[in-house]
Amino acid sequence: MHFDQRTQRALREAGLENETIVEISDRVAELVVEDAARLESFFDDNGTVYSDMELAHGRSDHPEHAVEYCDLFTHGADLRGYLRFDSWGVPVEGGRVLRGEERPELVELSLGPTVDDRVKFARSRDAL
């Protein structure tokens, strides 16, 4: 079950049966797996992406990044992994597709230590 005890209690108080809560929890896990695959495909499709990340020595409002890989895994409702650029990398602690159902065009990741921020990535600077 991916809902904490308070959420489970609230759902039962709202009239949902335990079986329905389990089904919803399973669906949440399925959606996270689908999102992870879509996010990975965004970075696999294009070696260069643009972001709204603030870089200490950056000169651009939307810096360019050469991506080596994005490796994500899921556990229940959690999405985690690692995003590797050409010369550095950062842990990923969550993410979502913002635009592009079939082919993601704009995504957002929660990046871990060294960045510690939500960052949008796009296929072009104009998409940001």
Tens of pLDDT, residue by residue over 50-62, are 999 876 555 667 7
Is 80 exceeded by the pLDDT of residue 85? Answer: yes
Q: Which two tokens stand for residue 42?
A: 């965004």
Mean of pLDDT values over 22-51: 91
Q: How far apart are the C-alpha atoms of 28 and 39, rounded to whole Å? A: 16
Residue 111, CB-side half-sphere exposure with 13 Å CA sphere: 21
Tell me what percent of the residues of the chain surpass a pLDDT of 90: 67
Q: What is the pTM of this model?
A: 0.85
Is 60 exceeded by the pLDDT of residue 23? Answer: yes
**Pick from 45, 48, 2: nearest CA to 21:** 2
Mean of pLDDT values over 17-29: 93
- The phi-psi region of residue 38 (left if phi > 0; otherwise alpha if psi is between -120 and 50; otherwise beta) is alpha
Mean of pLDDT values over 37-47: 87
